[in-house]
Chains A and B, each alone.
Chain A
Amino acid sequence: MKSTFKTLALAGIIAIAFSCKKNNTTPDEEAGSTTNPTANLMQIGETYIIGAKAKAVIYSTKPFETGYNDIYVALYDSVDGSRLSNGHFDIMPMMDMGSMQHSCPVENTEDTTTTNGYFKTAVIFSMPGTASQWSLNLNFHNHKNGLDGSGALGVNVISSSPARFKSTVLSLDSNSSVFISLVGLLNPQVGINDFEITLHKKANMMSFPAINDYSVEIEPEMPSMGHGSPNNVNPILISNGYYVGKVNFTMTGLWKINLKLYKNGTLISNDQYFETTLQ
């Protein structure tokens, strides 16, 4: 009896030891790698989509700020509370400045089905604002009941710091107003990091098409020391205004990622940059 107990105790200790070991090795060591994106969502707000008999709950990975924001929307049947996973969903962000209104770049999915239960979109807020200024106008065609509806949710948008959004007027591209947004790089690490930006052009107050004909060069720099880092990969167009490359950091501290934009081989912008701090 006693020896059985001992064996069990020993087995327990071994099990604990192994489980500890496992825990120690699982933490994600790779910079910029993406785990399940919906794992750490925070709720931004909720609103009814009147007419479609649906309720929308808006989530994001962080509080809304100027620049690129992932948005995950969970839709529920407002009658029985069940999760809705089929329909056409889109968002139209709107800024009400009193005298005028404008929108900002937005990415609406063409998918009529959800991923992990969410409709995913992204909004690039072009300025900070309060919940009475910025609103997300939601439209939903509910395939469950065939009804159309819309709703609105006022949202707070703070200034990203350091800035993850840049807007510039490019005289060498017919005075276009161009928006540059940093995607990801929220937890930069020493070593290799994914570097992703989006480029949009302001066509009018309500329309911001993606730019697909630029090329981008990056040059990281430590401003206080004046040095760069080696073997960076310039972002190249993936689709729909997304440009993806790699940025390398050799040490912690404040880094500045200088951007150069080219169109048809002509340098049209070389004064834009993003800053990031590695702890």
Chain B
Amino acid sequence: MSRCKIVGILFLFQQSLLGQTTPKDSAVKSVQLEEVCVSEDSDNTNQAFDFYKNSKLASTEDILSRMQGVNLIKRGAYGLEPTLRNYSTGQSNVTIDGMRIYGACTDKMDPVSIYIEPANLQSIQVAHGASGALDGSTIGGQIGMKLKEPTFSCHSKINGQFSQSYLTVNNGYNSSLTLQQSYKKISYRVSGTFRKADDYRAGSNILIQHSGYQKTNASAAISLKITHSQILKLDYIGDWGKNIGYPALPMDVGKASAQIFSLSHLLEFKKGYFIKNNLKIYYNEIIHQMDDTHRNDAPMHMDMPGWSKTVGAFNELFGKNNFKLRLDYHSVYTRADMTMYPNGEPIMYMQTLPENYLNDIGIALNQSFNFKYKQQLNINGRLDFYNQYASKGIGSKQWKVYNTDITETKTDFLKNLNLAYSKKFKETITTQLSLGYGERIPTSNERYGYYLFNRQDQFDYIGNIHLKPEQSYQMELLFKQQFKKVEYSVNFFYHHIQNYIYSYQLVGFSQMTIGAYGLKTYKNIDYATSQGFEANLKTKITSQLAYIASAKYIYAQTDKGTPLPLIPPFKLQHSLRYNYKLFQFQFEHDYASTQNRINSDYGDKKTPYFNLYNFRASRNLRIKSTVLQLAIACENILDNNYREHLDIGGIPRFGRNFLINLSLLF
């Protein structure tokens, strides 16, 4: 929970490669240490993250997949949806610099994480359960992504990086360029990334059709020093995807674009109880167009565009003892259409997600209290007032056939509270008990969706506006011990979710999608439970040899004892790293056990266990004031044909893949 918050700190790229080398090395001096985000919540899991974030080849998703309690739902080679333990989008929140962004795709092809390229990523903070409810009510927690900021330095020289990678598995090219410059009062940072890949090959040389993609990402940030203690910052991210294949789904993405703007005012207090105040207003707009023109098996051509627009503002006041007071507001518009073109017949049109609005106003507070005998109590709470309604129009007319008026305003008042009590023993042992309560509102899909096809169980889904918010009672127990060369932690959790939103079949109602088996909707069931553990171990065997391991397991079921869908099996990820001068070698092994606890109603299929072996090596060269980095890797060395349990449609993952990356730092 809050104490076991994982803080992923992303140093400048070279930091990870050089992290284990002697600081006297000249190459290290070029590291822009001011870029390092230091968080008060750093702990050993953070180091685990640093350890893994070792490759310029890594996408944001690769980085996420190594974080504690994070799993990814995969629908294609691109756009993996992060889940926190068993909580997917809607149950958990993903934010960028505290901003709320909602996907425009009703099939969740566009998780928020795709808009942040590693070149722009400063850190990722993961907070599980109600401890992650500071920026929005949640039961699953929050993945908070932080963007790199333009920094002020004493010189006005342009510095930056250029990086070029190549992947053999899908003939993929990734290029990125970042530039930064600062003057006395103003500094800026711009970056661009281009990714292009063909269809990839799974183990045993099986071509996965419709898995190629192309995308461009651009970002720009300008900071203006108004006074010594005030900064005004303008941020922009643009992301344009094109022909993104989703082999697990019946359609691909023809075009997708995201425009993310924000304006922030940062005020630092030099003395007193308060440390800083951050005021931000933001707007983002996502447009997502699904496409079936590359599919030969499509019964008829179909256009499925989706829109999402969010406008919001928040003010965060930070103080000592982890004090944080946040007031926020956001308003979201979402809509998705479907237009079908049957041969020689009139076109057919439907709003699969009727035009709808969500407004939220919230207040959140965090505060720590220290007591004697090394005891600490951290309290965070949040109240949210939501209203949600659909606008009048064709979408609301569609719903009349179910005698449902979706234009009526649904209001929900949500409450979240988390108490984390920790005590240290003998400086080396930390224990923490967290008790939490969280709520989350039903998503617009769950309330207003209209014949949304779910690939997993092959059913169409309609929403249910009468759904109540989910409520979760949570308990977590952390035990952590640190020795000189070894440290480990174990975290147990138990969540009891009341009014769990669960699907069921509407017998006697027909599907809309050709080939679907029938129609389903959602209801609140009495409760569901989720429990499990995460464990981490890190040892420094010699000054050059390090070993890191993490394991996670979740057991989740409904009140009737039915396993919840999309629950990952036991997973072990561990690595051995050896540093020799400016060389670094790393050997990784991932193991996932067989998952037989499945929800067959939802279309879950049993997933066999797998072993995955990767090898990585890197070398740095210094040429005058620039640093050249060369990294190579071989992933899935044995070319296993495997899939993870959360991979939709049973599509196997990458087969043997050689990667090469060349980076230039200047």
Q: Footprint of B on A, CB under 8 Å?
A: 29, 31, 189-192, 222-231, 248-254, 277-279
Beta-carbon contact of B347 and A250 below 8 Å: no
Q: What CA separation (Å) do A277 and B394 show in the bound complex?
A: 16
| CB neighbors of A among B331-364 (8 A) | 338, 340, 342-343, 345-350
- Selecting from B58-66, B510-518, B635-643, the interface stretch reads B510-518
Q: In the complex the two chains form, is A248's CB within 8 Å of B512's CB?
A: no
Chain B stretch 368-414: residues in CB contact (< 8 A) with chain A: 392, 394, 397-398, 400-403
Q: Which one of A228, A252, A278 has the highest number of Cβ atoms from chain B below 10 Å of its Cβ?
A: A252
CB pair A228–B510 under 8 Å, yes or no, is: yes
B509 at the interface (CB under 8 A from A): yes
The answer on a CB contact under 8 Å between A227 and B401 is no
Shortest Cβ gap from A145 to chain B (Å): 52
Pick 15 A–B contacts, CB within 8 A, sort by A: A29-B397, A191-B397, A191-B400, A222-B348, A224-B300, A224-B342, A231-B402, A231-B403, A248-B400, A248-B401, A250-B512, A251-B350, A253-B340, A253-B347, A253-B348
Please state if B346 and A250 are interface contacts (CB–CB under 8 Å).
no
Asked if A190 and B398 make an inter-chain contact with CB atoms under 8 angstroms apart, the answer reads yes
Whole-angstrom distance between the alpha carbons of A139 and B513 in the complex?
55
Bound state CA distance, A202 and B348, in angstroms? 38
When A190-B394, A230-B401 are in contact, do A254 and B345 touch as well, CB less than 8 Å? Answer: yes
B493 at the interface (CB under 8 A from A): no
In the complex, whether B451 has a CB less than 8 A from a CB of chain A is yes
Known: A224-B342, A227-B512, A253-B340. A31 touches B397 (CB 8 A): yes
| Per-residue interface assignment for chain B, residues 482 to 522, with 1 indicating a CB less than 8 Å from any chain A CB and 0 otherwise | 00000000000000000000000000011111100000000
Given A225-B512, A250-B451, A250-B512: A230 and B348 within 8 A (CB)?
Answer: no
Tell me what chain B mostly uses at the interface: helix, strand, loop, or mixed: loop
Option from A223, A250, A254 in Cβ contact (under 8 Å) with B398: A250
Once bound together, how far apart are the Cα atoms of A234 and B492, in whole Å?
A: 57
Task: Find out whether the CB atom of B398 lies under 8 angstroms from the CB atom of A191.
Answer: yes
User: Which 6 pairs between the two chains have the least Cβ-Cβ distance?
Assistant: A253-B348, A251-B350, A248-B401, A191-B397, A224-B342, A191-B400
**The residue from A29, A224, A231 contacting B348, defined by CB atoms under 8 A apart:** A224
Report which B residues bind A (CB closer than 8 A). 300, 338, 340, 342-343, 345-350, 392, 394, 397-398, 400-403, 450-451, 509-514
Residues in A whose Cβ lies below 8 Å from that of B512 = 225, 227, 250-251
Question: Closest Cβ of chain A: how far from B344's Cβ, in Å?
Answer: 9
Complex: how many Å from CA A31 to CA B394? Answer: 11
* Least Cβ–Cβ distance between A173 and chain B, in angstroms: 30
CA separation between A272 and B340, bound complex, in Å? 26
Excluding A229-B401, A254-B346, 17 further A-B contacts by CB distance (< 8 Å) are A190-B398, A192-B400, A224-B343, A224-B348, A225-B342, A225-B514, A230-B401, A231-B401, A250-B401, A250-B450, A251-B348, A251-B350, A252-B347, A252-B348, A252-B350, A253-B342, A253-B348
Pick the contact of A253: B349, B394, B403 (CB < 8 A).
B349
**A224 to B510 CA separation, bound complex (whole angstroms):** 14
A249-B346 contact in complex given A225-B512, A227-B511, C-beta closer than 8 Å: no
A248, A253, A254, A277 — most chain B CB neighbours (10 Å): A253
Whose C-beta in chain A lies nearest to the C-beta of B342? Answer: A224
B346 and A192 form a contact (CB under 8 A) = no
Q: Which of A29, A225, A277 contacts B340 (CB 8 A)?
A: A225
Q: Which residue of A lies closest to B397 (CB)?
A: A191
CB neighbours (8 Å) of B397 from chain A are 29, 31, 189-191
- Which residues from B are CB-within-8-Å of A225? 340, 342, 348, 512-514
Shortest Cβ distance from residue B115 to the other chain A in the assembled complex, whole angstroms? 32
Q: Once the chains are docked, how many angstroms separate the CA of A279 from the CA of B401? A: 18
Q: How far is the CA of A31 from the CA of B398 in the complex (A)?
A: 11
Give the chain A neighbours of B513 by CB distance below 8 A. 225
A250-B512, A253-B342 as given contacts; A230 in contact with B349, CB under 8 Å? no
Decide if B342 touches A192 in the complex (CB within 8 Å). Answer: no
A136 to B192, CA, bound (A): 78
The distance in angstroms between the C-alpha atoms of A222 and B510, with both chains bound, is 11
Q: Is the CB of A192 within 8 A of B345?
A: no
Complex CA gap A127/B235 in Å reads: 70
Complex Cα spacing A229 to B403, Å: 13
Are B509 and A230 in contact, with the CB atoms below 8 A? yes
Chain A residues within an 8 Å CB radius of B394: 190
Q: A192-B401, A231-B402 are in contact. Are A252 and B510 (CB under 8 A)?
A: no
- A191 and B348 within 8 A (CB): no
